Amino acid sequence: MGREMRRSQERAERRQKAREAQQPRRSSLPPTSTSAPEAPRTGSLLKPRWALDIISELKKVTWPSRREVANLTTVVVVISMLLGLVMGGADLFFGWLMEQTLLR
């Protein structure tokens, strides 16, 4: 699913939740003063709780497209090369400067 589709789906879900929150709820049961606490999620020996948490968080991630990855990788490589050239040039300049001033 593309990023735009996911975002539009999330917006639609938010709108639906907002509509449900605005509508008064009618319950056939009388209101209770004490509510039963939710049972804590427990994992098993093969799937510990932390692994279940990681899996649920990874399902929420919006992964970049192949084109975005290629573009960003190109940007990183170009900027790294430029910074390498600048740092190398500064090193050569200061090396030359030290030879001219201190080592003569």
Tell me the pLDDT tens digit for each residue of 51-81.
999 999 999 999 899 999 999 999 999 999 9
The residues near 51 (Cβ < 8 Å, ≥ 6 apart) are 43
83 inside domain: yes
74 inside domain: yes
Give the C-alpha separation, 29 to 27, whole Å. Answer: 5
Q: Is the pTM of this model over 0.75?
A: no
Chain centroid offset of residue 37 CA: 31
98 inside domain: yes
Which pLDDT band, with edges at 50, 70 and 90, does 26 fall under?
low
**Whole-number pLDDT of residue 23:** 75
54 inside domain: no
Number of compact structural domains in the chain: 1
Give the C-alpha separation, 37 to 71, whole Å. Answer: 49
Does the structure show a pLDDT above 90 at 40? no
- Which residue range is the domain that position 88 belongs to? 67-104
